[in-house]
Structure 1
Amino acid sequence: MEEEEEEGRQVWSWGAGTEGQLATGNLQDELFPSNVSHYFSLPISHIACGGAHAIALTRDGKVMTWGRGKSGQLGHGNWENSAHPKHVKFLENFVICNAAAGWNHSGFVSDTGLLFTCGDGSFGQLGHGDYNSQCFPVEVKFFGSRHVLKISCGMRHSLVLLKDYARAPATNSYSAVDGHLYTWGRGFNRAKHNQVPQLLSTSLKFSQVSLGWNHALLLTDLGEVFMLGGNHHGKLSGSESAPMEQGRPLNCATCDKTHEANTVPSMQRVAALEGINVVQVATGSEHSAIVSESGVVMTWGWGEHGQLGLGNTCDQTIPQVVHLDRGQLRCRKVEVYCGSGFTFVSNTALNANTSDLSLPS
């Protein structure tokens, strides 16, 4: 069974591709999904997409990167782009279990809790105590013997989750804790900026949060999708406003005072997804994607580079189905990953007679 799963894993990409970020070998945008499975030498378990580069983790903890590398973010020891996935040789002696791609930097976490970063460091986002860029992964010594579990890379900052669940500070973030959502940083839709985390007061419980430039997608524990912001390319038509109370302030860890609540952006339910049980949400800079329980991928928002996978460059205000050529295989698990203006999808597929999960054509 394991061999069938690995052989059946497929990978598609589409959208902006002029810097090699689609792993097709062609430096051009792709309006339809392209199957790029054959460019990966080993079965992959996870993909992280950044500004114009991407990272893939293999099932045995190896790392491949491709796309824009002019800031050193690919970790290959040079400042060059790569149109095909290449192994990161500097990490071959480690088992990498988590990775993230920012605008021009990358982060890698080993199974022993070590953190490595490379790429643009001009804003201190690499965590090495300076503003230097690195073209190969360098261990972040700041955490000492503490065990890093995960890293998340933003446009010019990074955030890590430690094994003892302490969190490094970030400047513009959304976080779901025990089903509750906290927001801080720059406000959407003219909402005030929050210097202190604010609890989004709602009876809904959230299981996933994904943050774009001007919007955030929220997935509830019931499989419903809501959106914060989105008055740019990600604006929805036919959306429903959800009632919310004012954001509740938290005690400030810096001055030990309680701050007044700031105005929070309105939250909208994605009405077009009513009746669809969603299991994953993802956001690019200004486009969105979801995966349904039955493995269907849907996209909407900014479409200038074909990142919606619909065969055109139009923006979409209603989620649209992306048609993937799965051949004769049926899918067990589908995952979608969004970069700034491009999208990847991977799945683990089994022969039709070994799975009872069917997908629409």
Structure 2
Amino acid sequence: MEGEGSGRESAARAREVVLISAGASHSVALLSFVTTGNAVSSWGRGEDGQLGHGDAEDRLLPTLISALDDQDVVSVTCGADHTTAYSESGLQLYSWGWGDFGRLGHGNSSDVFTPQPVKALQGVKIKQIACGDSHCLAVTMDGGVQSWGRNQNGQLGLGSTEDSLLPQKIQAFEGVSVKMVAAGAEHTAAVTEDGDLYGWGWGRYGNLGLGDRNDRLVPEKVSEVDGQKMVLVACGWRHTITVSSSGNLYTYGWSKYGQLGHGDFEDHLVPHRLEALRDNSISQVSGGWRHSMALTSDGKLYGWGWNKFGQVGVGDNVDHCSPMLVKFPDEQKLTHISCGWRHTLAVTERKNVFSWGRGTSGQLGHGDSVDRNTPKMIEVLSKDGSGCKQMESSRTDPQPGKIWVSPSERYAIVPDETVPRPPPSLTRGNGNDANVPDVKRVRI
């Protein structure tokens, strides 16, 4: 009997979420399965192929990415509208989704609708991937950093403003062992194994922490803060969050929506300690488009910043310029968090997955398109729900009769049809494909 019980417990533990990541309007989860190894599930907006299911359809519920079956994926990371996954046994990084500016690392700017290997990184041992709005970075096991994608403000750290369609090594870190990197919209931050903090890229709001509002084309070391060594870093769209070895949290950059958490809406040009959480030891941080989240070592979650869609998770839709405690059923303790642009994901010790915030594309995973301002458990992914046992796979068409349409056909301009062009400040894209009007790139 004892043996049978142990087997049941092992099977229960095996079907669980081990990692989650949130993009602009999509979400991804890494699942541990006892018989088939790890699997990857995605849901939300699929317009640019970022879900990896081979089509451009949104998914309102988590759906297994069949192309990653048996690939031994150990990490998943969302960019705004693209996604990456790393296979440890295969020493292979995969990417898919919106390809403009080379953010997928495939040597071109094409959108990709199923996971494809980044051939330039084949065989490279990677310990961490960071994805921003339009650029990516990989930290290798030897502490080096490679970057690729959009580079109009120097966010790749290569000393120029030229985009890179393939991964390139950041030479400025030669002789420096990098521990982790974080990517914002157009800026990047890093902490080294020695506890030093670096910033580069777009710096208009002081989000590089260097005391001014200038861009940097190569990584520059941030002045030592309170004699502290830094161990964690995260980027929001235009703000940065870092944590010291003593567990203190510091923020800097843009704070129009209170995303720095200092009780006001003032920008900070250098790291500024978050006094409201000074009595807590911070174990994890994440930055959204204009909101921030911090997880304490005792499993409590605090949120602050822009809250129009309830992404802070405290039951209202009012912006908060100071940390607010996010409550969970039965006071469950948290183990992992991830901020999307307008939504948030969290995993509890009980292996339940919660989401809240913007739901218009199904990115919350509840089978609907409803916004929520408090955490709601994603039934299909949670141990207290169906425990990852009732998910569809991308090899199954969830909406029979629908056919896949190529990107150029989806966005082709109908003859004699006038397509309204938004102001240049709202558009993104390199404009190289005449069949894809810039209006596609507007994000609401």
TM-score category by the smaller chain? 0.7 to 0.9
How much has 1:72 moved relative to structure 2? Answer: 0.3
Which of 267, 283, 287 is equivalent to 1:193?
267
Out of 264-273 and 107-116, give the one that drifted further. 264-273
- Residue 229 of structure 1 and its aligned partner are, at CA, apart by 1.5
Q: Structure 1 residues 210, 139: closer, same or farther in 2, change over 3 A?
A: same
Per-residue deviation at 1:222?
1.2
Question: Greater relative contact order: 1 or 2 (C-alpha under 8 angstroms, separation 6 or more)?
Answer: 1
Cα distance per residue 1:226-284 (max 9 Å; x no partner): 11113321254547x9xxxxxxxxxxxxxxxxxxxxxx922211134561111111110
For 2:250, what is the secondary structure of its paired residue?
A: strand
1:42 to 71, 81, 104: 71
Structure 2 matches for 1:213-252, cutoff 5 A? 213-233=289-309, 234-238=311-315
Displacement, 1:196?
2.4
Q: In 2, distance between residues paired with 1:6 and 1:105? A: 35
Distance in 2, matches of 1:265 and 1:193, equals: 12
**Relative to total residues, which structure has the larger strand share, 1 or 2?**
1
Which residue type is aligned with residue 44 of structure 1? V
Looking at structure 1, the residues matched to 132 and 102 of structure 2 have their Cα atoms a distance apart, in angstroms, of 12
Name the one with the larger helix percent: 2
Structure 1 contact 225–278 (Cα < 8 Å) conserved: yes
8 Å contact kept, 1:6–1:43: no
1:89 aligns with 2:119: yes
* Aligned counterparts of 1:59 and 1:292: Cα–Cα separation in 2: 25
Pick from 336, 339, 348 the counterpart of residue 292 of structure 1.
348
Unaligned runs of 5+ in 1: 242-263, 332-361
Q: What letter corresponds to residue 315 of structure 1 in structure 2?
A: D
2:321 alignment partner AA: P
Distance 1:19 1:236 in 2: 28
**Which residue of the partner structure matches residue 18 of structure 1?**
47
Tell me which amino acid in the other structure corresponds to 1:203.
D
2:93 and 2:313 mapped to 1: Cα distance? Answer: 37
Whether 1:148 and 2:178 are equivalent positions in the alignment is yes
The amino acid across from 2:48 in the alignment is E
Q: Per-residue deviation at 1:324?
A: 1.9
Distance 1:58 1:192, change over 3 A: same
Match of 2:279 among 203, 218, 225: 203
Q: Is contact 1:238–1:271 with CA below 8 Å preserved after alignment? A: no
Structure 1's 292 and 304: CA in aligned 2 closer, same or farther, altered over 3 A?
same
**Contact 2:135–2:150 (8 Å) recurs in 1:** yes
Q: What amino acid maps onto 1:175 in structure 2? A: T
Question: Distance in 2 between the 1:274 and 1:213 partners?
Answer: 29
The Cα of 1:330 is off from its aligned counterpart by: 6.4
CA distance in 2, matches of 1:272, 1:230: 20
Q: 1:112 is matched with which residue?
A: 142
The 8 Å contact of residues 287 and 299 in structure 1, kept in 2 or not, is answered as yes
Q: Name the CA distance, whole Å, in 2 between partners of 1:104 and 1:135.
A: 11
Deviation of residue 307 (structure 1)? 0.5
Alpha-carbon shift at residue 113 of structure 1 (Å) = 2.0
Q: How does 1:278-317 map to 2 (within 5 A)?
A: 278-317=334-373
Check whether the contact 1:23–1:39 (CA below 8 A) recurs between aligned residues.
Answer: no
Offset at 1:41?
4.9
1:313-332 superposed matches below 5 A: 313-324=369-380
Q: Tell me how far apart the structure 1 counterparts of residues 123 and 325 of structure 2 sit (CA, whole Å).
A: 46
Q: Structure 1 residues 94, 152: CA separation in 2 closer, same or farther (over 3 Å shift)?
A: same
CA contact 1:57–1:63 (8 Å) conserved in 2? yes
Instruction: Give, in angstroms, the shift of residue 185 of structure 1.
Output: 1.0
What CA deviation, in whole Å up to 9, does each residue of 1:152-189 have, x standing for no partner?
11110111222222111261211122221111111133
Q: Deviation of residue 289 (structure 1)?
A: 1.0
Aligned to 2:418: none
Could you tell me how far apart the structure 2 residues matched to 1:222 and 1:118 are?
37
CA contact under 8 A between 1:298 and 1:319: conserved in structure 2?
yes
Letter in 1 for 2:266: K
Partner of 1:32: 61
Tell me, in whole angstroms, the C-alpha distance in 2 between the residues paired with 1:204 and 1:290: 19
1:132 deviates by: 0.4
RMSD of aligned C-alpha atoms? 2.6
Q: Name the CA shift for 1:95/1:289 in 2 (closer, same or farther; >3 Å).
A: same
**Does 61-70 or 289-298 show the bigger shift?**
61-70
> Quick one: which of 138, 152, 160 aligns to 1:130?
160
Q: Report if aligned partners of 2:352, 2:382 keep a CA contact under 8 Å in 1.
A: no
User: Mind listing any 5+ residue stretches in structure 2 that lack a counterpart?
Assistant: 1-9, 15-31, 201-206, 208-238, 259-263, 389-444
Supply the distance in 2 between the matched residues of 1:208 and 1:6 (Cα, whole angstroms): 31
Tell me how far apart the structure 2 counterparts of residues 306 and 130 of structure 1 sit (CA, whole Å). Answer: 38
Are the counterparts in 2 of residues 238 and 272 from structure 1 also a CA contact under 8 Å? no
Whole-angstrom CA distance in 2 between matches of 1:305 and 1:39:
23
Q: Take 1:325 and 1:225, find their aligned partners in 2: how far apart are those partners?
A: 20
2:39·2:68 contact (CA, 8 Å) conserved in 1? no
Question: Does the CA-based 8 Å contact 2:380-2:387 persist in structure 1?
Answer: no
Could you say what secondary structure the match of 2:57 adopts?
coil
Which SS does the other structure have where 1:217 is aligned?
strand
> Does the 8 Å CA contact 2:314/2:324 hold for their aligned counterparts?
no
TM-score (norm 2): 0.65
Conservation of the 8 A alpha-carbon contact between 2:37 and 2:72: no
Q: Structure 1 residues 183-192 or 43-52, which shifts more? A: 183-192
Query: Aligned letter for 2:100?
Result: K
